[in-house]
Amino acid sequence: MAVEPTERTMGGERDPDTPVGPDPSLAPSERAKELRELIEYHSRLYHQQDAPEIPDADYDALVDELRSIEAVHPDLVTPGSPTQTVGAPPSGLFAPAPHRVPMMSLDKVVSFEELLAWGVRTKRLLGLDDAEAEALRLVCEPKIDGLSISITYDHGRYARAATRGDGRVGEDVTENVRTIESVPLELALDPDEVPPDLEVRGEVYLPIAAFQELNQRQEAAGDKIFANPRNAAAGSLRQRDAKITASRALAMFAYQAETSAELARQSDSLELLRRAGFVVNPETRLVTGLDAVYEYCKDLEARRHSLGYEIDGAVVKIDDRALHRRLGATSHAPRWMMAYKFPPEERTTLLRQIMVSIGRTGRATPFAVMEPVRVGGSTVSLASLHNEDQVAAKDVRPGDTVVVRKAGDVIPEVVGPVLSERPADSTSWRFPADCPVCGVPLVRLEGEADTYCVNLDCPGQQLQRIAHFASRGAMDIEGLGEQRIHQLIEAGLITDAADLYRLAVEELTGLEGFADLSARNLVAAIDGSRDRPLPNLLVALGIRHVGGTVAHALASGLGDLDSIMEASETELAATEGVGGIIAASMVRFFATERNRAFVERLRQGGVSFGVRLVSDLPQVLAGKSVVVTGTLENFSREGAEEAITARGGKSPGSVSAKTTALVAGSSPGAAKLTKAEQLGVPILDEAGFQALLDTGELP
Ligand code: IVH
């Protein structure tokens, strides 16, 4: 039964509702609009949620395409176009931190020819002759794949740290950055040398070893696994609790110093930073002329995977600051520096076969099985080919020598075949007509890219559904991996997850590899999962759009599974944190007889459905939403929230226009306070909160 690798190990699961794909038949104005939406969507995922869905190179390609449309059709440029702005606006998680000097973007080139062209342009703009151009001094440094940060020092004392945000306003992460070891809290300069004001810019990053350690810890705790060091650094920095940031081994390379005092050269400012106690990247070099820049980039690229931290290129900066002022900036980036982005590292290898895996929803995903090859810092043997059209567009065939790379340095990707090496007898690959697991004909609907196995009893789907049910974040059944599930299905002991709760130790001991102890352990682990909290059960059911966050919202809004199943679409959509699309998906799920029967069998198997919320207190807060922040004297945080929900109210985690009141104890969250002030939401102290609980009226 060919069910490996799974959708999870392929890392390619994509929400079908995610906007995707260019449609070349569109008019430029429509395509520009579509590109802007796509770019904004992916930019939000990247900057605010630290969870990109596409590789950086694909994102850059979208921006490049939009830029080229706008170049031909200047009338299509809008003021808010992503080509005119940088990054993403702040998320609301932290207080806004306006930048005194805007944090601009950095222009980039992807080939030496383009880098040379920048050199020629710069020479012309500055009116340099050949000899002067050859003598031009440039600072070269690695382009660190992290997050840029701006730190302000007031008379030598650490004062404020802000993320870039949209370039004008960042997020105030002062408390978090304070915990980073390579950030001095006091400048190590002589008193007469301390500038009254200093702004330091640099890149916060997570060393690769620390990234791997963090992911091991996250996995052991059943927490989110980060896709790459950059996301991990962003996720670690943007924590409400600075203690978490402190536990993450973040580091910073400083690359820019701004003071009112005159620093003649870029290299002087790096020297000042070094002496003040910052870490300047040790690969930084001051070179003369563009030929030396070329040598620097080539050498750095050859060593990029042995530095201990991720870099995605080199940055070249003109040393003489007087020239910076003469060159100035474009609408989004200074002209005196340029990033050279490394081309993605590519390797060739043999494509042994193309197989098809069946996911939990029945989606049939083709994937390449290759001769293992080392690329982009790890060994690759499997890569998703996504769908039938992708295989056809690439025309990759079993037996081909193919080019592989890591998209965005993370996800393995087959670029295409090396045609000169194609065997003479090769034929193009055909998508199988039948499901490789259950043999039922596969279905591809008109106008859709994906092919599905529509047999709900397909063991391949069942295996993936059970694996999802047992996974961390769901029912978390230890020792129940895919192999074991496969074995149990083959032995005819289970067909779905509800059957797990009827397994007896004696049934297992006969199976290969099941000693008495491991059989007992598995049955005990299954038993232990019976009283997982309701959100875990909701996730385990595998309802479309219902992940951990939504499951928590449903559980705290409605209390138990029966209430959730009985709720109408309107009631569900009225629950805080649950939108119309989710509500519709929930109703569809529970309207299906098969799903209801499954839930009933879970109940018979003794699975806990949560606690129905009953309260005999007067429901004075019905329809009201009260947010709590900071420490209260007479309530714990949970206690305060319970007091609200027990009176019919809701207590969401963030302030919105719908919030009735914000209760602020000591050390309240700055973001919540600011938001409440902006929206005119009343802010109550503890006495006011007590009055609200007693009467339901604002004091
Ligand atoms: S210079 C004008 N130097 O790359 C802003 N940036 O892709 C550029 N980056 O936003 C500042 N390493 O976050 C500079 N050695 C370096 C860098 C670097 C990484 C980041 C920075 C910037 C981004 C642009």
Q: Which of 646, 232, 575 is nearest to 410 (CA)?
A: 232
What pLDDT is stored for residue 3 in this prediction? Answer: 35
What pLDDT is stored for residue 11 in this prediction? Answer: 32
CA of 266 to the centre of ligand 1 (A): 14
Angle separating helix axes 593-604 and 580-591, nearest 10 degrees: 80
* 310/142 Cα distance (integer angstroms): 9
* 555/576 Cα distance (integer angstroms): 11
* 339/672 Cα distance (integer angstroms): 38
Q: Which pLDDT tens digit goes with each residue over 52-109?
A: 767 676 777 788 888 888 877 878 777 677 776 655 555 567 889 999 888 988 999 9
CA of 457 to the centre of ligand 1 (A): 52
Is the pLDDT assigned to residue 176 strictly greater than 90? yes
Q: In what order do the strands lie in the sheet with 285-288?
A: 108-109, 337-341, 311-318, 137-144, 285-288
CA of 676 to the centre of ligand 1 (A): 34
DSSP state of 193: G
* Closest atom, ligand 1, to C-alpha of 147: 13
* Closest atom, ligand 1, to C-alpha of 201: 11
Nearest CA to ligand 1 atom 16: 143
Three-class SS of 411-424:
EEEEEEECHHHCCC
What 3-state DSSP class applies to 650? strand
* Closest atom, ligand 1, to C-alpha of 145: 19
> What single string gives the DSSP state of each residue in 494-561?
-SSGGGGGG--HHHHHTSTT--HHHHHHHHHHHHHGGG--HHHHHHHTT-TT--HHHHHHHHHHH-BH
Question: Higher pLDDT residue, 279 or 238?
Answer: 279
Is the pLDDT assigned to residue 19 strictly greater than 50? no
Q: Could you tell me whether strands 108-109 and 337-341 are parallel, antiparallel, or unpaired per DSSP bridges?
A: parallel
Nearest CA to ligand 1 atom 23: 106
What pLDDT is stored for residue 231 in this prediction? Answer: 85
DSSP state of 304: G
Hey, what long-range contacts does 483-491 have (CB within 8 A, 24 or more apart)? 484/522, 486/1, 486/3, 487/511, 487/512, 487/513, 489/459, 489/462, 489/463, 490/1
* Closest atom, ligand 1, to C-alpha of 334: 2
**CB contact at 8 A, 139 and 284:** yes
Domains of the chain: 1-84 (1.10.287.610), 96-341 (3.30.470.30), 346-452 (2.40.50.140), 459-531 (1.10.150.20), 534-604 (1.10.150.20), 626-695 (3.40.50.10190)
Phi-psi region of 141 (alpha: psi -120 to 50; beta: other; left: phi over 0): beta
Is the pLDDT assigned to residue 378 strictly greater than 80? no
* Closest atom, ligand 1, to C-alpha of 86: 10
Is the pLDDT assigned to residue 15 strictly greater than 60? no
CA of 106 to the centre of ligand 1 (A): 6
What pLDDT is stored for residue 247 in this prediction? Answer: 87
Is the pLDDT assigned to residue 25 strictly greater than 90? no
Partners of 84 in beta bridges: none
CA of 338 to the centre of ligand 1 (A): 9
Average pLDDT over residues 604-614: 83
Is the pLDDT assigned to residue 223 strictly greater than 90? no
Q: Residue 216 — very low, low, confident or very high, per pLDDT cuts 50/70/90?
A: confident
CA of 264 to the centre of ligand 1 (A): 21
Average pLDDT over residues 363-376: 91
What pLDDT is stored for residue 615 in this prediction? Answer: 64
Nearest CA to ligand 1 atom 13: 148
Q: Please, is 260 exposed, middle or buried when counting C-beta atoms within 10 Å of its C-beta (0-12, 13-18, 19+)?
A: exposed
What 3-state DSSP class applies to 493? coil
What pLDDT is stored for residue 266 in this prediction? Answer: 95
Q: Which of 203, 412, 209 is nearest to 309 (CA)?
A: 209
Name the residue of 47, 105, 143, 280 whose CB sits within 8 Å of the most ligand 1 atoms, as the mutation to test its pocket.
Answer: 143
Q: Which pLDDT tens digit goes with each residue over 491-519?
A: 999 999 999 999 999 999 989 888 889 99
Q: Rounded to an integer, what is the distance from CA 217 to the centroid of its chain?
A: 18
Q: Rounded to an integer, what is the distance from CA 92 to the centroid of its chain?
A: 17
Q: Residue 228 — very low, low, confident or very high, per pLDDT cuts 50/70/90?
A: confident
CA triplet 262, 267, 269: central angle to 5 degrees? 45
Q: Residue 13 — very low, low, confident or very high, per pLDDT cuts 50/70/90?
A: very low
Mean pLDDT of the chain: 87
Average pLDDT over residues 356-364: 93
Q: Whole-structure pTM over 0.75, yes or no?
A: no
Is the pLDDT assigned to residue 35 strictly greater than 90? no
What pLDDT is stored for residue 652 in this prediction? Answer: 83
What pLDDT is stored for residue 222 in this prediction? Answer: 62
Q: Which pLDDT tens digit goes with each residue over 93-136?
A: 788 999 988 898 899 998 999 999 999 999 999 999 999 999 99
Ligand 1 residue neighbourhood (C-beta within 6 Å): 104, 106, 141, 143-144, 148, 203, 255, 315, 334, 337, 339
Q: How many C-beta neighbours within 10 Å does residue 418 have?
A: 12
CA of 552 to the centre of ligand 1 (A): 38
* 44/204 Cα distance (integer angstroms): 19
Three-class SS of 48-82:
CCCCCCCCHHHHHHHHHHHHHHHHHCHHHCCCCCC
Q: Residue 371 — very low, low, confident or very high, per pLDDT cuts 50/70/90?
A: very high
Residue 182 Cα distances to 173, 203, 237, 242, angstroms: 16, 11, 14, 16
What pLDDT is stored for residue 10 in this prediction? Answer: 34
Q: Which of 623, 613, 617, 640 is nearest to 559 (CA)?
A: 613
CA of 300 to the centre of ligand 1 (A): 16
Name the residue of 59, 140, 144 whose CB sits within 8 Å of the most ligand 1 atoms, as the mutation to test its pocket.
Answer: 144
Q: Which of 547, 549, 581, 541 is nearest to 565 (CA)?
A: 541
What are phi and psi for residue 93, nearest 5 degrees?
-75, -30
Average pLDDT over residues 262-277: 93
Share of the chain above pLDDT 70, in %: 91
Q: Which pLDDT tens digit goes with each residue over 318-329?
A: 999 999 999 999
Q: Which of 143, 394, 624, 650 is catalytic?
A: 143
Q: Burial letters for 633-668: b for 16+ Cβ neighbours within 10 Å, e otherwise?
A: eebeeeebbebbbbbbbbbbbebeeebbbbbbbeeb
What pLDDT is stored for residue 588 in this prediction? Answer: 95
CA of 656 to the centre of ligand 1 (A): 34
**CB contact at 8 A, 366 and 386:** yes
Average pLDDT over residues 366-395: 90
Q: Residue 369 — very low, low, confident or very high, per pLDDT cuts 50/70/90?
A: very high
DSSP state of 191: G
Least confident of 197-211, 257-271, 673-687: 257-271
What 3-state DSSP class applies to 85? coil
* Closest atom, ligand 1, to C-alpha of 333: 2
Name the residue of 106, 145, 163, 296 whose CB sits within 8 Å of the most ligand 1 atoms, as the mutation to test its pocket.
Answer: 106
367 Cβ contact partners less than 8 Å away, ≥ 6 residues apart = 5, 10, 354, 355, 356, 357, 382, 383, 384, 385
What 3-state DSSP class applies to 19? coil
The enclosing H or E element of 362 equals none
Is the pLDDT assigned to residue 33 strictly greater than 70? yes
* 458/359 Cα distance (integer angstroms): 10
394 catalytically annotated: no
Residue 13 Cα distances to 223, 366, 586, angstroms: 18, 13, 20
Q: Residue 331 — very low, low, confident or very high, per pLDDT cuts 50/70/90?
A: confident
Q: How many C-beta neighbours within 10 Å does residue 213 have?
A: 14
Nearest CA to ligand 1 atom 12: 143
Average pLDDT over residues 181-192: 93
For the ranges 262-271, 298-307, 350-359, 470-479, the maximum mean pLDDT occurs at 350-359
* 613/505 Cα distance (integer angstroms): 36
Q: Which pLDDT tens digit goes with each residue over 427-483?
A: 999 999 999 999 999 999 888 889 999 999 999 999 999 999 999 889 999 999 899
Residue 264 Cα distances to 85, 151, 201, 278, angstroms: 30, 21, 18, 20
What pLDDT is stored for residue 189 in this prediction? Answer: 92
Q: Which of 393, 402, 405 is nearest to 449 (CA)?
A: 393
**CB contact at 8 A, 553 and 576:** yes
The enclosing H or E element of 427 equals none
* 534/67 Cα distance (integer angstroms): 48
* Closest atom, ligand 1, to C-alpha of 104: 2
* 388/431 Cα distance (integer angstroms): 6
Nearest CA to ligand 1 atom 17: 143
Q: How many C-beta neighbours within 10 Å does residue 614 have?
A: 7
**CB contact at 8 A, 589 and 575:** no
Name the residue of 138, 203, 269 whose CB sits within 8 Å of the most ligand 1 atoms, as the mutation to test its pocket.
Answer: 203
CA of 66 to the centre of ligand 1 (A): 22
For the ranges 432-441, 620-629, 639-648, the maximum mean pLDDT occurs at 432-441
Q: Residue 407 — very low, low, confident or very high, per pLDDT cuts 50/70/90?
A: low
What pLDDT is stored for residue 129 in this prediction? Answer: 93
* 271/263 Cα distance (integer angstroms): 10
* 586/232 Cα distance (integer angstroms): 32
* Closest atom, ligand 1, to C-alpha of 142: 15
**CB contact at 8 A, 426 and 399:** yes
Nearest CA to ligand 1 atom 8: 106
Nearest CA to ligand 1 atom 21: 148
Question: Higher pLDDT residue, 556 or 494?
Answer: 494
What pLDDT is stored for residue 2 in this prediction? Answer: 36
What pLDDT is stored for residue 240 in this prediction? Answer: 82
